[in-house]
Amino acid sequence: MPVGTQGSVKAVSSEDMEEMGIKIILANTYHLYLRPGHRIVEKLGGLHRFMNWDRPILTDSGGFQVYSLSKLRTISEEGVTFQSHLDGSPHFIGPKEAMVIQQALGADIIMSFDECAPYPADYEYVRNSVRLTSLWGRRCIDYKERNHQALFGIVQGGMYPDLRELSAAELTQMNFAGYAIGGLSVGEDRGIRQRVIKETVEFLPTDKPVYLMGVGKPEDIIEAVALGVDMFDCVLPTRNARNGTLFTRNGQLSIKNACHTDDDGPVDENCHCYVCTHYSRAYLRHLFMAKELLAYRLNTIHNLYYYDRLMEDIRRAIREGRWDEHRQSFYASQKQGISDSLSG
């Protein structure tokens, strides 16, 4: 899922994403609650109509942003009091508020309100975070009114295997429509993350979607899929695009590099995106160096297309029973890219 934090996937339009074949996007409850406000979005017909996007939308619960963006947060059994990162104004979001806001926004998939522990955090803190997340998960289910919205639970538990198991066990009893793995990509090592994903997926039902929040790099996605994850969101393709870093089947490249100055070729010869079929590396480099706004849009279109095809290729390989082979060929082409650039 491309990330449309403020009701816009940065630098591209809904039409751009339709043309790329994007099937679902994510929007942030915390940001839209603060600006323009969920009641305004509701009055204007909901988020789909507001941003002219008629395919599925997932809104997160706001829990992670309250933890990572806002200042002076205070946690109680009822929810979290925090200061807006925009103007310092005081706000409160608990499980009920998270449901009310997400119902007003009108996404297809909504997330239960969770308490995302920092990293590192001691066992007792994380134990309490799991307790609150289960308590709030139950309240979210009770508060949820609109049945067309699919409500996902979020498994917490930090890096502690028994707490992950506990969180997964408590949430699966509540019978959510899907389950997310939260509390990762908060600064932990890649090896630890892989272990936690493995130890969490084990305790989740196989007949419901598993969503790994905030991950990740192409290789992180490949490895998480190998462990049983189905869904992802990440700002990497859009943020990297705005920094001039482009994804290709042979790894990443920086469009700023002088070697692209007069390179008439596309970013990726094997890519069929609008950018690769219409513009040269030389033009993209020129736009980026000249700080032209078009640079950000074209780079974003390419990167989102790359990620969409990454997932499409994964789904096809699984359907066709050649997952292991696909995973190996993914790494082989990345290695080829590194070898090419060393010899080039």
* Closer residue to a copy of itself, CB minimum distance, 22 or 154: 22
Give the residue with the Cβ less far from a copy of itself, 32 or 186: 32
Cβ contact 153:137 at 8 Å: yes
- With vertex at residue 2, the alpha carbon angle to CA 17 and CA 305, rounded to the nearest 5 degrees, is 55
CA distance 124 to 114: 17
Q: Residue type at 22?
A: I
Question: Residue 45, interface with a copy of itself (CB under 8 A)?
Answer: yes
Binding span for a copy of itself by CB under 8 A among 11-19, 132-140, 178-186, 194-202: 11-19
> Which residues are catalytic, by number?
60, 233
If you ran DSSP here, which 8-state letter would residue 273 be given? S
Nearer to a copy of itself, 203 or 274 (CB): 274
Q: Are 47 and 10 in contact (CB under 8 A)?
A: no
Residues 263 to 302 in contact with a copy of itself, rule: CB under 8 A: 264, 274, 278-280, 282-283, 285-287, 289-290, 292-294, 296-298
The correct pick among 26, 30, 48, 50 for binding a copy of itself (CB under 8 A) is 50
Instruction: Please pick, from the candidates 23, 52, 175, 205, the single residue that binds a copy of itself as defined by CB under 8 A.
Output: 52
Q: CA 91, CA 96: separation in Å to the nearest integer?
A: 14
Here's the x/- map for a copy of itself, 223-262, by CB under 8 A: it reads as --------------------------------------xx
**Candidates 32-40, 61-69, 121-129, 184-192; binding stretch for a copy of itself (CB under 8 A):** 32-40
The contacts found for 121-129 with CB under 8 angstroms, 24 or more apart, are 121/158, 123/160, 123/163, 126/156, 126/157, 126/158, 126/160, 126/163, 127/163, 129/156, 129/157, 129/158, 129/183
CB of 262 to a copy of itself, least distance (A): 5
User: Could you list the residues that contact a copy of itself (CB under 8 A)?
Assistant: 6-8, 10-13, 15, 35-36, 40, 43-45, 50-52, 261-262, 264, 274, 278-280, 282-283, 285-287, 289-290, 292-294, 296-298
